Amino acid sequence: MASAAGSTAPAAVHQGVAPLRAGQGYSFLLRRLHSLSGIVPVGAFLFEHVLISNATAISGPAAYARQVQFLASLPLVPLLELFGIWLPIAFHALYGFYIWYRGDGNTIAYPWTGNWMYTAQRWTGGIAFAYILWHTWTMRFTGVDLHVHPEISFGKVQAEVLQPALFIFYVVGLIAASWHFAYGIWLFCAKWGIVSGEKARKRFLAVCLGFFFLLSGVGLASLATLRKYPQQPTEPGTAVMNNKQITEGR
């Protein structure tokens, strides 16, 4: 009787992040690539875009235009964008949606903090993807090509940020992308066994949360500068600066 009772006892539920294990065929490989692509190159692109490129907006239109001009001067820009940004983002997002669709939400049954954070990771990924699509389409593929006319780059972004609805969308998208990347670093290190042990994971989680606040803070400061700065031209030929002045830092 004792053994029969014991066989019906519920299995213990363990908290934590399950590691990626071999022996799962293509699924294992795709999950490895998905996890890695979230750090390099997608995460690296977000790091550069927020903490370097967008942060230059805090210094004003000339500094922002110089950064845009520098990026436009890189060799093989279309290939770099295609294979270093667009295709990795598309793979990471679409396979992430597939994982989300195949998964079962259990935050109500197991309302642990880590479980809620993981759920937030999925939702912020969806929001960030919509934000990236919109921002990329409007800034890169519609209107004036900023790679050709970097002098109006500040004004083009500013024109969107000054619209209340789009400003809110920018703020929400920025915070979502920052959280998705920062917590994604923690998930990556936990799943790949780079950070092991409960204490080490808790300490590293604190580091990742600090990184989230850094990304969000710099991004919000850039948006605030765009809103408070005198409105800049959005059409070529109307900007005070020309390409020579941008290069010389005037």
Digit-coded pLDDT (tens) for 27-79: 888 888 999 999 999 999 999 999 999 999 999 999 999 999 999 999 989 99
Residue type, 120: A
pLDDT at 44: 94
Place of tokens 């890189």: 74
Q: Which two tokens stand for residue 126?
A: 């969806």
Torsion of CA 145, 146, 148, 149, to 10 degrees: 120
- Please tell me the class of the 22-248 domain: mainly alpha
The interaxial angle of helices 153-161 and 164-191, nearest 10 deg, is 100
Output 89-95 pairs: Cβ under 8 A, ≥24 positions apart: 89/42, 89/45, 89/129, 89/132, 91/33, 91/34, 91/37, 92/34, 92/37, 92/38, 92/42, 93/125, 93/129, 95/30, 95/33, 95/34
Place of tokens 């436009």: 72
Report which of 84, 82, 124, 83 is spatially closest to residue 100, judged by C-alpha positions.
124
Report which of 14, 17, 15 is spatially closest to residue 187, judged by C-alpha positions.
17
Domain boundaries along the sequence of the chain: 22-248
pLDDT at 101: 85
Q: Which two tokens stand for residue 138?
A: 């409007």
How far is the C-alpha of 126 from the C-alpha of 131, rounded, in Å? 9
pLDDT at 27: 83
Report which of 162, 98, 103, 97 is spatially closest to residue 133, judged by C-alpha positions.
97
pLDDT lower than 70: segments of the chain: 1-25, 104-114, 238-250
How far is the C-alpha of 132 from the C-alpha of 90, rounded, in Å? 11
Query: What value does the CA radius of gyration of the chain take, rounded to a whole number of Å?
Result: 22
pLDDT at 64: 97
Count CB atoms within 10 A of the CB of residue 158.
Answer: 23
pLDDT at 166: 96
Q: Which residues contact 34 (CB under 8 A, 6 or more apart)?
A: 91, 92, 95, 96, 99
Q: Which residues contact 16 (CB under 8 A, 6 or more apart)?
A: 114, 190
CB-CB contact of 45 with 85 (8 Å): yes
Q: What is the pTM of this model?
A: 0.82
CB-CB contact of 42 with 207 (8 Å): no
